[in-house]
């Protein structure tokens, strides 16, 4: 399904936290860790805040003095 040479796909292995502990232990032993106080995650898309398009929800969120 995914055509990427950097991805290793193993049959009958599904995403699960129990498989992450092995990888996490290897990274911890190598001290390959992130300082999460200054870590910024990489997102595929930039977040853009928008106003609600739902008119009912939009009226509920408007300030009372309008």
Enclosing domain of residue 15:
1-66
The predicted structure's pLDDT at residue 31: 94
Residue 7 pLDDT exceeds 70:
yes
Helix (H, G, I), strand (E, B) or coil at 17: helix
Both tokens of residue 26?
């290897």
pLDDT digits (tens, 9 = 90+) for 9-43: 788 877 788 778 888 899 999 999 888 888 887 77
Please state the domain count of the chain: 1
Residue 49 pLDDT exceeds 90:
no
CA dihedral 8, 31, 41, 24 (to 10 degrees): 50
Angle (nearest 5°) at CA 41 between 17 and 32: 65
- What is the pTM for the complete model shown? 0.36
Angle (nearest 5°) at CA 41 between 35 and 47: 145
Count, residues in the chain? 66
């Amino acid at each position: 399904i995914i055509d990427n040479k950097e991805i290793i796909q193993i049959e009958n292995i599904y995403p699960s936290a129990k498989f992450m502990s092995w990888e996490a232990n290897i990274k911890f032993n190598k001290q390959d860790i992130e300082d999460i106080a200054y870590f910024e995650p990489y997102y595929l898309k930039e977040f853009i805040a928008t106003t609600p398009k739902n008119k009912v929800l939009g009226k509920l969120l408007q300030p009372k003095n309008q």
